[in-house]
Structure 1
Amino acid sequence: MAIYMLGFGFSIGVQILIARKNGERKYGEIGGIFMQGAFFLLALAAVMFFLCDSITTHILSRLISSDQVYAAASSYLEWRRYGLFFSFIAILFRAFYIGITETRTLTLNSIVMVLSNIVFNYILIFGKFGFPALGIAGAAIGSSLAELVSLLFYVAYTWLKVDKKKYALFQQFSFKLSEFKRIWNISCWTMLQSILFPSQWFLFFIAIEHLGERPLAIANIMRSINTCFFMAIFAFSDTTSSMVSNLLGSGKEKSEIWLACKRAIRLTYMIGIPFLLLSALFPTVLLQIYTNSQELVQAALPTMYIMLLGYLLSAPGLVLFNAVSDTGNTSRSMKIMLITISIYVVYVVVMVMYLQVDVAIAWTSEYIYGGMLLLLSYLYLK
């Protein structure tokens, strides 16, 4: 995941520049940005491909004591690393389509990828249609093949449906340092942000582990449910990203950028709040998807209510934070994230590791995170 997030972070910088050029109607420059991004991501994939051996040998061997678990993890990484080449270029196509505001293509690609993943995993994990049952190695191969199918879909769709001449796609096959530097000045910060973003959860779960097994089990269930709600936030954040960069490129006033942000927040609430209300009214139905223990379900209820309320802060916070990044000032958005995570870390350490509060109270750390993103992003954009 950390390796993938490096590539994803770089693609966000590419997306910002493509959207800006699209807004400026300088369509012919988009192909050059795309190709320079492709050169870097292929090189990054190659480096990470070979580093996976070192990760397996030097890191996993120290973290995993069981020989069987180590063998399974090594087998998974051995095959999973091939998918880096496919996934890194696929996320570049994702950046291209978001940048030119053709997000419908992403939905089609997601359907193709999910279906491919299900089919390949079914065949290779369980050994269907004459293939051997490969277990965890089959899961890795299946995921990598699904990423290849996703990439092939993007290539075929782009070749058949997109005006390649308009965007000067697939025309520049030489590395241009000056153009790459322009991308790097933005992408280096978004790469760091992409690594920092999941680190909050890593720290949170390390802290919760000190409270015991049941709080950790509750936190894991909440994390799974929270991820479902965040899918809507991320979708509208991506849309806002494209709109902000396109508006800036076309020379629109800041008031129109604010209007785009408000529209995205409103839509996020319109979609998210009905699900929040249903979850609040029938919490046990949702919790029983994740556990059969009625005792655990009852213990998780207070945390769930606190988690649901956190959506009201996280939604506008992430939308505005993405808008800051897409003004092109990614170093400022990096500062916002560093300040937010620093305050979040202090809160978690004090509340969980020193005061040993209940997991429900510990989950209020999400209010700190979402609230700080919202406040600092608002102050920058106003």
Structure 2
Amino acid sequence: MNFTYKQIWLINFPVMMSLLMEQLINLTDTIFLGHVGEIELGASALAGMYYIAIYMLGFGFSLGLQVVVARRNGEGNLTKTGEVFWQGMFFLASLAIVTFTLSKVFSPQILRVFISSDSIYHAVIDYMNGRDYSFLCVFPILAYRAFFIGITKTRVLTVNSILLVASNTILNYLLIFGAGGFPRLGIAGAAIASSLAEVVALVHIVIYTYLKINRKVYGWRITVNIPLLKQLLRISSWTMVRSFFCIAPWFLFFIAIEHLGETQLAAGNIVRSISVMLFVIVNSFATTGISLVSNLIGAKQTNRVVPICWKTVKLSYAVGTPFILATALLSKQILGIYTNNTEVIETAFPPFLLMLSTYFLATPAYTFCNAIIGTGKTRTAFIFQMITITIYLGYLYKLSTWEQIPLVVYWTAEQLYVILLLGLALYFFKKGDWKR
């Protein structure tokens, strides 16, 4: 296998669109709620981070599932890819039911511990009461996504994602503001809209798979293989925990800045929302890299792994740099999309520029860290992540003990995080033990 820049791009583009459209759900929620009020805007940040932290458990398992599907695909053992998929689907469907139930029961108590403002707390609960239902659809969607990325047939993900965002945008407008005779639900309407959009996306990808996948070629039959499921869990347990701890610090980040006030929290949410959109480029290439690395190892071409990582980094720079520069030039206009409050815009401007610069460090950091997952060394990737998160949280805690620290200083924690992650990942590949 000799993946060219063109081949990497063709595999990556649908993945990028899929991740982009998924993040557009949070973006549209934030934009709409920014015109409802500062409390709703700040609450959507905390609620969104809390939801995504739980979501990342399923996403982490899907990365392990993707590794195994890609390895079988690289070996040319296509009939096993379908069997691997179904074991992953059984687990993710079960996880969906468990997380939905636990969130319904325990989320109010957990969130009360972290959120001091009563108005923000009640807004967050209103959001989660409707958003919980998304778990029942989004986790099965992750199984389908892992399968299609693993076999490098990713075009369906683009259409699926467009349907997801289009449904969410329309439903947001109807349910948040009460347009077209619908009830005016505010932040609760944003949550219900997102959950209904996930239903549309799941129905679409199930129908597509049923009509287009060659069941004989890909071994697409429902079977239970306990040893295979245990193998998946052995690989994916580390990526599940790692993915959860990747996003959990974001939730703690917003808890750390909540004491700065509602304006600072709203400004931080705007910067986070934009950063997530731009970092879709980084994450899509890093996610694609998992399959590329795993396919290469399955084809016994370990000598091509590091070169393909650098190819992926260069392509990510080529795609992302124009967007970063354009965003920097149009910064005030972009921030103005979210809110008309000039104080919030002025507060968001310095951390916004710092966030843009982080892209150039994050690209190689996430690419090489995800490549570690592609080699199957998921435990090592988890250990590296925990080292960086521990230092990151210690840094945030130290900042929170000082008085009158501006929001932009808190954002330097992101740069510290990616620098540490990059150093550890490069050390792993330089050491060379992974080839055995």
TM-score over 0.5 for the pair: yes
1:83 alignment counterpart: 134
3-state SS of 1:328 partner? coil
Structure 1 unaligned runs (5+)? none
Question: Which of 323, 326, 334 is residue 286 of structure 1 equivalent to?
Answer: 334
Whole-angstrom CA distance in 1 between matches of 2:212 and 2:184: 39
Verify: 1:350 aligned to 2:398, yes or no: yes
Whole-angstrom CA distance in 1 between matches of 2:376 and 2:324: 33
Deviation at 1:204, TM superposition (A): 2.3
Query: Are the structure 2 counterparts of residues 377 and 288 from structure 1 closer, same or farther at C-alpha, using a change threshold of 3 Å?
Result: same
Cα contact 2:104–2:132 (8 A) shared by 1? no
Verify: 1:50 aligned to 2:66, yes or no: no
Cα contact 1:210–1:353 (8 A) shared by 2? no
1:147 alignment counterpart: 198
Q: AA paired with 1:32? A: E
Q: Deviations over 1:260-312 (max 9, x none)?
A: 21122112211221222223334322333334344554454433332221111
Q: AA paired with 1:252? A: Q
1:365 alignment counterpart: 413
Q: Deviations over 1:226-253 (max 9, x none)?
A: 1221111111112111111111111113
Question: Which of 268, 281, 297 is residue 219 of structure 1 equivalent to?
Answer: 268
Whole-angstrom CA distance in 2 between matches of 1:94 and 1:135: 31
3-state SS of 1:164 partner? coil
Q: AA paired with 1:199? A: A
3-state SS of 2:401 partner? helix
Q: AA paired with 1:179? A: L
Q: AA paired with 2:367? A: V
Deviation at 1:337, TM superposition (A): 0.1
Q: Counterparts of 1:112-131 in structure 2 under 5 Å?
A: 112-123=163-174
Whole-angstrom CA distance in 1 between matches of 2:196 and 2:261: 39
Whole-angstrom CA distance in 1 between matches of 2:418 and 2:353: 16
Verify: 1:172 aligned to 2:172, yes or no: no
Whole-angstrom CA distance in 1 between matches of 2:369 and 2:320: 19
Q: Counterparts of 1:284-363 in structure 2 under 5 Å?
A: 284-354=332-402, 357-363=405-411
Query: Are the structure 2 counterparts of residues 302 and 107 from structure 1 closer, same or farther at C-alpha, using a change threshold of 3 Å?
Result: same
Query: Are the structure 2 counterparts of residues 93 and 277 from structure 1 closer, same or farther at C-alpha, using a change threshold of 3 Å?
Result: same
Cα contact 2:111–2:121 (8 A) shared by 1? no
Verify: 1:93 aligned to 2:144, yes or no: yes
Q: Counterparts of 1:172-191 in structure 2 under 5 Å?
A: 172-174=222-224, 176-191=225-240
Q: AA paired with 2:408? A: A
Cα contact 1:321–1:374 (8 A) shared by 2? yes
3-state SS of 1:166 partner? coil
Query: Are the structure 2 counterparts of residues 36 and 218 from structure 1 closer, same or farther at C-alpha, using a change threshold of 3 Å?
Result: same
3-state SS of 2:216 partner? helix
Whole-angstrom CA distance in 2 between matches of 1:16 and 1:133: 44
Q: AA paired with 1:346? A: G
Whole-angstrom CA distance in 1 between matches of 2:173 and 2:330: 33
Whole-angstrom CA distance in 2 between matches of 1:229 and 1:305: 13
Question: Which of 43, 50, 56 is residue 5 of structure 1 equivalent to?
Answer: 56
Greater CA drift, 199-208 or 131-140 = 131-140
Deviation at 1:333, TM superposition (A): 0.1
3-state SS of 1:288 partner? helix
Structure 2 unaligned runs (5+)? 1-50, 431-436
Cα contact 1:117–1:143 (8 A) shared by 2? yes
Q: AA paired with 1:234? A: N
Verify: 1:236 aligned to 2:280, yes or no: no
Q: AA paired with 1:331? A: R
Q: Percent identity?
A: 43
Greater CA drift, 141-150 or 17-26 = 141-150
Query: Are the structure 2 counterparts of residues 367 and 61 from structure 1 closer, same or farther at C-alpha, using a change threshold of 3 Å?
Result: closer
Cα contact 1:207–1:353 (8 A) shared by 2? no
Whole-angstrom CA distance in 2 between matches of 1:137 and 1:257: 46
Whole-angstrom CA distance in 1 between matches of 2:97 and 2:308: 38
Question: Which of 48, 73, 89 is residue 38 of structure 1 equivalent to?
Answer: 89
2:153 alignment counterpart: 102
Q: Counterparts of 1:14-33 in structure 2 under 5 Å?
A: 14-33=65-84
2:311 alignment counterpart: 263
Greater CA drift, 38-47 or 184-193 = 38-47
Query: Are the structure 2 counterparts of residues 61 and 226 from structure 1 closer, same or farther at C-alpha, using a change threshold of 3 Å?
Result: closer
Q: AA paired with 1:275? A: F
The number of aligned residues is: 378
Greater CA drift, 347-356 or 218-227 = 347-356
Query: Are the structure 2 counterparts of residues 139 and 292 from structure 1 closer, same or farther at C-alpha, using a change threshold of 3 Å?
Result: closer
Whole-angstrom CA distance in 2 between matches of 1:160 and 1:183: 27
Q: AA paired with 1:289? A: I
Aligned CA RMSD, in angstroms, stands at 2.8
1:374 alignment counterpart: 422
Cα contact 2:168–2:194 (8 A) shared by 1? yes
Cα contact 2:175–2:182 (8 A) shared by 1? yes
Q: Deviations over 1:27-62 (max 9, x none)?
A: 111111111111112222222233233125644677
Query: Are the structure 2 counterparts of residues 333 and 68 from structure 1 closer, same or farther at C-alpha, using a change threshold of 3 Å?
Result: closer
